[in-house]
Amino acid sequence: MCPPDYFGIEYEINPWMNVRVGSDTDRSRRQWGDLVAELEGLGATVERMEPVSGLPDLVFTANAGLVYRDIFLCSEFRYEVRRGEAEHFAAWAGAHGFEVIRMPPGYYFEGAGDALFCGETLFAGYRFRSDVRSHQWVADRLGVEVLPMELVDPRYYHLDTCFCPLAPGWAIYYPGAFDEYGRSVLRDRIPNLIEVAPEEAASFSCNAVVVGRSVVLNRGASKLADSLREAGFNAHPLEFSEFIKSGGRAKCLTLRLDGEEAAAWAHGE
């Protein structure tokens, strides 16, 4: 995670961002700190990256890259305003024992924002940020099965805004963010899919952090919290009002260093 010292709404690259709204520094620091405390309370170890002035979205470490075992596949950002982040993420990963891999020029790939393991399979969103070519490149480079799915609603511009793996064979998703093909892929490949209601999806409830059976998400997603409970998971609601102004919630603020498929390992599979 990266502290929100320089977080702000300084440009508009998704429908949630409005430079005239801005964000409150104290409140974002508090909300970010609450997430750290919650995750540590759940037994996670949180590594903190150094924030960098002039990079307001560096706080969204989900977009740093994709971690797969000891490989860090660095993001290639779609928008110029975020491109300066890549060297900081790559440097951090290199200094922490990862083999850092960069994609060839011309590819767009926004890391764990758009590429999420559910079990052994990598589910990959494309169109608004990552492109489909990059996902094919990832499949070849990592030798894993990748299922690219087109995202169709600009409000759900990253896969992690509308899809969240919980455990092998388990995930939550918002159907309206996918086309018919994407929905059928998800239904065919994930036996236990929890559907998120449109109003709860619109408050980014799919953007959740999973630690074992605990799911950290935004406040107010009571239907999803009920569904999670029935499925044997616990919802841990927190306030993220400052970060939704930038189009992010819990999950965007984190990158799993033990890999997105860590949920599988935690379940002993």
Point out the residues that are catalytic. 158, 252
Amino acid at 9: I
Cβ 31 to ligand ARG shortest distance, Å: 15
Question: Do the strands 170-173 and 99-101 form a parallel or antiparallel pair, or are they unpaired?
Answer: unpaired
Cβ 230 to ligand ARG shortest distance, Å: 27
Structure letter (DSSP) for residue 53: T
Smaller CB distance to ligand ARG: residue 52 or 231? Answer: 52
- Tokens representing 167 are 């455990």
CB 224 within 8 A of CB 196: yes
Smaller CB distance to ligand ARG: residue 63 or 205? Answer: 63
Cβ 10 to ligand ARG shortest distance, Å: 10
- Tokens representing 56 are 């307001």
Cβ 229 to ligand ARG shortest distance, Å: 25
CA 246/CA 10 separation, integer angstroms: 9
Smaller CB distance to ligand ARG: residue 22 or 232? Answer: 22
130-160: string of b/e by CB count within 10 Å (b at 16+)? bbbbbbebbbeebeeebbbbebebebbbbbb
Nearest to 90 by CA among 106, 78, 77, 79: 77
Amino acid at 103: M
Q: Which residue is nearest to ligand ARG (CB)?
A: 113
User: Helix (H, G, I), strand (E, B), or coil: what is residue 121?
Assistant: strand
Query: CB neighbours (10 Å) of residue 54?
Result: 9
Smaller CB distance to ligand ARG: residue 202 or 269? Answer: 202
Residue numbers of the site for ligand ARG (CB under 6 A)?
Answer: 13-14, 17, 57, 60, 62-63, 82, 113, 158, 160-161, 246-248, 252
- Tokens representing 236 are 């841990």
Cβ 61 to ligand ARG shortest distance, Å: 9
Smaller CB distance to ligand ARG: residue 14 or 25? Answer: 14
